[in-house]
Structure 1
Amino acid sequence: MDESHHRTSRFRVLGIIGKGVFSSVIKCVEEGTDVGDADGASAETNGNGVGGRIVAMKIIRNNEVMAKAAAKEMRILRILCHQSTKLAGGKARQSRKEGRAEGGHKDGINPEANEEDDDDDDDAEERERRERENHNIVRLVEVDPGVSSAAADAYLSSSAYAAPPPEFRSHCVFLFEFLPYNLREVLSKFGKNVGINLTAVRSYARQLLCALAHLERHRVVHADLKPDNILVSANFSTVKLADFGSAFFETDFDNDPTPYLVSRFYRPPEVILGLEYDRMVDLWSTSVTLAELFTGSVLFPGKTNNDMLVRFMDAMGPLSHKMVKRHALSYSRMGLQPHFEVGITGGTYQLRKHDVDRVTGQPVCCLVNVLSAKADARLAQVLLRASKGGGASERVDVLKFADFLNRCLALDPARRLSVRDALRHDFFVKKKKKVNT
């Protein structure tokens, strides 16, 4: 029996987490290991009382194309995970207090419930320590979290991080820490159709932005952020980015424009328009996800790329003429019909709106004028309705959230907040506690 078979045979399957076209993820127990081998992992015992840590095993479909994609994903994960460990200065010691979830809907989850009673400075220091240790990226189990900084430096300076992922019966295999939920499941559990409370959204937003900052340092773009690909800890206090199967480096030479990168509801306008894209793709997807968490509904539920553009402009105002002209050139190069008809002078444009005739059921296309919209007011109204008429204090917080989203969801990626500036937004400024005298 070869070494890879022996390695993978130590795992007992507990269930299927998810199945896709290109891979499957299963929940396993690594028999003969101690739960302490993994940071905060849960334990499982068999009938003989023999336990082990729980892991998530991602098995890639067996073909040459997927093997190459898996090698790229593994390289990205190794870089992100090793750098997280290096910056932590050693093994991450989990000291988080257990969060509480007491019921459903907007008051049912509060990742910061136990932070409110602590000193503000202590909170900031603890939060900074946590962010420094894991960067909110799902941990690759094969990377030892106890490795020293010197060892991590040596590893990264070698070519080892580019080695292919381990195999089992010719399938590429990834082993990750096990996190029991994703944000889609959390939303369904605590805020189906109504959303979760703003305190929880704020906590998750801060963590996700810290994850994006870590990706930015290594010029990595996730390119498929959505609630399904953001995992949540058992106590609902921590979120981590997962599924880097679509990720790429900004420096990759083959990042040609494609209108179908990123899942449609979370796809930014620059992708749909066939323009060049970068890390701002992830900021858009994250912001749309945060809006969905608060409202309980998808922010832009377009049925097609064309419908997505209609919804973008209804909510956020018209696209700039510069973006529309660049879009027309890009689509022409790709042999596609542009979504807009540009005027002869280039100063005006109309949308080619695609629809279905209600009588014949046949597809139709018509030119429509693009009207200006008060974007700030539109999004704020959506969020205020979702807050269910809270008090004056909550209204102020919701309006701060609306301003934060408006700045992160600028249709032109060049006008969006940087991740660093997003973390400094008033939405994240903690309220000063009143001192009774």
Structure 2
Amino acid sequence: MSSLRRKLSLTWKRDKSKGSNASTNEPGDKSMQPAHPQLPTRQDSMPPPRIPVSATVNSLSNIKQSDTATSKPNGGYLESRRRKSSGASLSAYSSHDRTKSDPWSSKKDTPDASTMPTARHTSVMNKFLKPKPSASTLQNPDAWYTELDKDDLGAEDEMRKMGSRRKETEIAARTIDALRKRATRKERVGPHEAIRVAMLNIYERGEIVDYPDIYFCGTQGAAKVVGDMKSDAPNFGYDDDRGDYTIVPGDHLSFRYEIVDILGKGSFGQVVRCIDHKLGVLVAVKIIRNKKRFHQQALVEVDILQKLREWDPHNKHSMVNFTQSFYFRGHLCISTELLDMNLYEFIKTHSFRGFSLRIVRRFTKQILSSLILLKQKRVIHCDLKPENILLRHPLHSEIKVIDFGSSCFENEKVYTYIQSRFYRSPEVILGMTYGLPIDMWSVGCILAELYTGVPIFPGENEQEQLACIMEVFGPPEKHLIEKSTRKKLFFDSMGKPRLTVSSKGRRRRPSSKTLQQALKCDDESFLDFLARCLRWDPDRRMKPEEAIRHEFITGKKTIAPPQRQPTRESSPVKRHNTVSAPRPLPEPPALGMKPAAGPRTGPSPHKPVAGGARRVSGATAPTTASSAKRTSTGNNSLGAGVGSSVSGLPRAAGRSASGKQDLAAAGATAAMSRRV
């Protein structure tokens, strides 16, 4: 028995020395699984399900367990031992340390505690009894608070007051604070150490040897699934028929994360709340479904998240903080920081009544900060909506943009069916080419919903969605309709919107209400901000860098530069008469006509207006003539002696465009004089 114990001690010592050299504690480390190299940005196929090393499984059954307390653990990954610090257990580990430090000793007497030498290596128990400070405690969690301006601080105070009035918000805040206190860094151990002290099933004993760093093996009461390699069940029994991983609270992920509960479930897979026992922080782990198409889409998200971490290393742009990605039991997993409720849940918690413009402005600044970085890097989020914007804490106003699973680079667009319907831009609905401006459209819809509590464009389908938009902003311009590849679904052959009726029998008429009526808001800066975000033409839609300087954000009214009078060269309508005041016209020739009572002072209509605007083709002559006609009539150019009667002379002069017409007018005047 003693020789076997010495052999085990030597093996333990060798494993210890190897494992300690390979250990790293850098955040974002991806060394959890050596069998799978660091996750590539591109991957053509899914990795096969991990099969435990059969040699390890067979060798484990041949090892004779010792009778000491170390061979009979009754808790998962020392969870029970952290709670039960009995003298028998500690003395057993102390004895093991002494034997390990002096393997060749022939003494078998129990040493006196006062004379026992200090162990050369820290025991496994002491590693877990002395947790390291967590990453969250090393950083100041309220560092962002000092960067807020007066308006933001007011929004922060308003958020705190709203949360304190609601019991469920207080409970959520206490829960997350308690979990953060519980999350502490743990020392790593090697796989062989973990096998000795943790209660592992046969499948785990086979797969654990592929993990050089072990931080957590599951709680004592976790109802773990035992994988069966001979079973016909999906993924050895770890998946359901849909390809989703079977979640067990208290179980581990990759021998590092402790599953707390499920946060959500979607078409992509599941999101679970976990404690990262390596970094000592709370994280959200997205476990992708074990299906090829979801795996491919998740790889794109990982690629973008990795780049965002490089582009924003100090987390200044309100985007979710990416920790790492890894494979576990055939599933791609994405670990990010843990956040709180999303903005839809936040709206729902407050009975869909909406929020003040101060809170809306605070959220807007942070969303725009994200979009500014994305625009600089030419990344389109493609799925901005309240569900994808999360509060960092239920009592604070800090938010983070999440879910880059549908995102793409501007020059690598893959999908045409993107964005949730209520927040879908017109160019996507109409089948036009889309780009970065689709995210600004979504922002406008989100802000309107934050203010009112309900979506501004709640279409039941795409036809009604477009009808909702036209109800406020009217039909799109003709050139946009012509670019549409789906225009026949929404417009008739004349380009008029097709009539749509909702399931409740409601018909929406274009331009039947204003944006002010739709929002029930009188704040001009907010209305102008939304109107610029929700322009039909994506080229004219407001850009993030323009939005951050808007009066609604800054509180400072921007003075528009004085408009320059268009010149012949710069005006889009070059032939337009740009004369702002009537020019004095020359006197008509006196051919026997009775003189007026006084000297003529008004402009004469008998000669054309001199200037460049007259030397043009006849395409715009009616516009110029009508202008001259209104001028001559308004100024009573015939003088006081003629009275209120207006002869045809001004009209003839107004239509004149050459000297020959002036001679004809003079002849007509002479003929009239002879009749008199």
TM range (shorter): 0.5 to 0.7
Aligned to 1:413: 538
Q: In structure 1, which of residues 320, 323, 343 is the aligned counterpart of residue 477 of structure 2?
A: 320
- Root-mean-square deviation (CA), in Å? 2.5
Q: Secondary structure at the match of 2:390?
A: strand
> Residue 520 of structure 2 is aligned with which of 380, 384, 393?
384
* Structure 1 residue 356 displacement after superposition: 7.0
Alpha-carbon contact 2:472-2:510 (below 8 Å) kept = no
1:351 match: 497
Q: Relative contact order: is structure 1 or structure 2 higher (C-alpha 8 Å, sep ≥ 6)?
A: 1
1:261 is aligned to 2:418: yes
Match of 2:459 in 1: 302
Determine which of 166, 179, 191 is the counterpart of 2:326. 166
Which residue of 316, 327, 333 corresponds with 1:134?
Answer: 316
Letter in 2 for 1:413: P
In 2, distance between residues paired with 1:221 and 1:414? 15
State the partner residue of 2:211: 3
Alpha-carbon deviation of 1:371?
A: 4.5
Matches within 5 A, 1:206-355: 206-234=365-393, 235-252=395-412, 254-255=413-414, 258=416, 260-327=417-484, 330-331=485-486, 337-343=488-494, 349-355=495-501
What is the CA–CA distance in structure 2 between the aligned matches of 1:369 and 1:236, rounded to whole Å? 39
User: Against the structure 1 CA distance between its residues 5 and 370, is the aligned structure 2 distance closer, same or farther, given a 3 Å change threshold?
Assistant: farther
Secondary structure of 2:383's counterpart equals: coil
What pairs up with 1:174-185 in 2 under 5 angstroms? 174-185=334-345
Task: Decide whether aligned partners of structure 1 residues 356 and 401 sit closer, same or farther in structure 2, where only a CA change above 3 A counts.
Answer: closer
Residue by residue, what CA displacement relative to the aligned partner does 1:295-346 show, whole Å, maximum 9, x if unpaired? 011110000000011110111122111111111xx238xxxx4311132xxx
Once the two structures are TM-superposed, the CA of residue 70 in structure 1 deviates from its matched residue by: 1.2
Change (3 A) 1:5 1:22: farther
Deviation at 1:291, TM superposition (A): 0.7
SS at match of 2:296: helix
**2:256, 2:363 → 1: CA distance?**
35
Deviations 1:217-260 (A, max 9, x none): 111111111000001111322111101111111011x536x3x3
Q: Are 1:55 and 2:279 an aligned pair? A: no
**1:31 corresponding residue in structure 2:** 277
Task: State, as a whole percentage, how many aligned pairs show the same letter.
Answer: 36
For 2:534 and 2:430, how far apart are their aligned partners in 1? 15
> Residues 13 and 317 (structure 1 numbering): CA distance in 2 closer, same or farther, change over 3 Å?
same
Whole-Å Cα distance in 2 between the matches of residues 319 and 193 of structure 1?
30
Aligned to 1:400: 525
1:194 Cα shift?
1.4
1:25 is aligned with what amino acid?
A: V
Letter in structure 2 aligned against 1:226: K
CA 1:60 to 1:357, structure 2 compared with 1: closer, same or farther past 3 Å? closer
Q: Is residue 187 from structure 1 mapped to residue 347 from structure 2 by the alignment?
A: yes
63 and 381 in structure 1: CA distance in 2 versus 1, 3 angstrom threshold: same
The structural deviation recorded for 1:382 is 3.0
The alpha carbon displacement at 1:355 in A equals 3.8
Change (3 A) 1:184 1:371: closer
The unaligned stretches of length 5 or more in structure 1 are 34-51, 89-132, 143-164, 344-348, 360-367, 386-394, 433-437
The AA in structure 1 aligned to 2:435 is D
CA contact (8 A) 1:350 1:369 kept: no
Matched residue pairs, number? Answer: 309
**Contact 1:24–1:59 under 8 Å retained in 2:** yes
Quick check: 1:70 aligned with 2:298?
Answer: yes
Q: Is the 8 A contact 1:410 1:416 kept in 2?
A: yes
Structure-2 residue corresponding to 1:38 = none
Query: 2:444, 2:547 → 1: CA distance?
Result: 10
Describe the superposition over 1:380-410 as per-residue Cα deviations: whole angstroms up to 9, x where unpaired.
Answer: 233335xxxxxxxxx5xx2211110001100
Change (3 A) 1:357 1:231: closer
1:216 Cα deviation after fit: 0.7
Corresponding residue to 2:360 among 181, 187, 201 = 201
Distance 1:319 1:178 in 2: 42
Taking the aligned partners of 1:140 and 1:5, their CA distance within structure 2 comes to: 21
Q: What TM-score results when the alignment is normalised by the length of structure 2?
A: 0.43
What one-letter code is carried by the residue in structure 2 that aligns with 1:282? D
Structure 1 Cα separation of the partners of residues 504 and 438 of structure 2: 35
1:342 is paired with a residue of what secondary structure? coil
For 2:368 and 2:504, locate their aligned partners in 1 and report how far apart those are by CA, in whole Å.
43
Distance 1:405 1:369, change over 3 A: closer
Distance 1:419 1:425 in 2: 10
Q: Is the 8 A contact 1:351 1:369 kept in 2?
A: no
Contact preservation (8 Å) 2:467, 2:510:
no
C-alpha distance in 1 between matches for 2:470 and 2:501: 17
Measure how far apart 1:10 and its partner are: 1.6
| Cα displacement string for residues 339-380 of structure 1 (whole angstroms, at most 9, x for unaligned residues) | 11132xxxxx22223447989xxxxxxxx9974467xxx112
Q: 1:356 to 1:230 in 2, by over 3 A?
A: closer
Give the SS at the match of 2:335. strand
**Preserved CA contact (<8 Å) 1:300 1:311:** yes
Conserved in 2, the CA contact under 8 Å of 1:287 and 1:405?
yes
Q: TM-score, normalised by structure 1?
A: 0.66
Indicate how the Cα distance of structure 1 residues 4 and 424 shifts in structure 2: closer, same or farther if over 3 A, else same: farther
Higher strand share: 1
The answer as to whether partners of 2:467 and 2:508 remain within 8 angstroms in 1 is: no
